[in-house]
Amino acid sequence: EVCAQALYAGQSLAARQAAHPDLPLARHLDEAGREETDHLAWTRQRLDELGARPSWLNPLWYAGAFGLGWVAGRVGRAVSLGFVVETERQVEAHLASHLDRLPAADQASRAIVAQMKDDEARHAREAERAGATAMPAPVRGLMRAAAKVMTTVAHRV
């Protein structure tokens, strides 16, 4: 969620900085980013309730994802939207794996993760309808590998 929020912020900035600013796209990305902020707040509250904490590396994840979002946004609208689609599909799969592992009795956590998963799927659908181009297989693979490294490290640090 930290990375998704940062990606949207970077992409929104790039849309505003373009030679011909794409303000409708920037507003769309800003709205999605606000939803990611909600997800972070829900997650933080639940972590507090469980006596847990977020990763100490969140500022690093944010900075890296912001830069990636900005680069994707600078490439162009269709690529930026394609990056959203692929990111959200991967996040949706990641959240589905959390739902599989969460205890059935932890209804509070399950409700949060399920709502986040639904929101991520909607973000992907909206980006597809707005003209996303599919990311090439090597890019999708790199994104999956980077996400795997980040989630593994974040789980421990």
Q: What is the pLDDT of residues 38-89, one digit of tens each?
A: 999 999 999 999 999 998 999 999 999 999 999 999 999 999 999 999 999 9
Provide CB contacts within 8 A for 115, sequence distance 6+.
Answer: 42
Contact of 152 with 97, CB cutoff 8 Å: no
Q: What is the mean pLDDT of residues 4-33?
A: 92
Domain ranges of the chain: 2-151
Query: CATH classification of 2-151 is 3.40.50, yes or no?
Result: no
- Phi (first) and psi of residue 71, to 5 degrees: -60, -45
Provide CB contacts within 8 A for 135, sequence distance 6+.
Answer: 82, 83, 85, 86, 143
CA 81 to chain centre: 12
Contact of 11 with 85, CB cutoff 8 Å: no
Q: What is the C-alpha separation between 145 and 110, in angstroms, rounded?
A: 26
* Closest alpha carbon to 19 in 77, 65, 78: 77
- Quick one: 96 exposed, middle or buried, by C-beta within 10 A (0-12, 13-18, 19+)? middle
Residue 155 pLDDT grade (very low, low, confident, very high; cuts 50, 70, 90): confident
Full-model pTM = 0.88
Give 138's Cβ-side CA count (13 Å radius). 0
Please state, rounded to an integer, the average pLDDT across all residues of the chain: 92
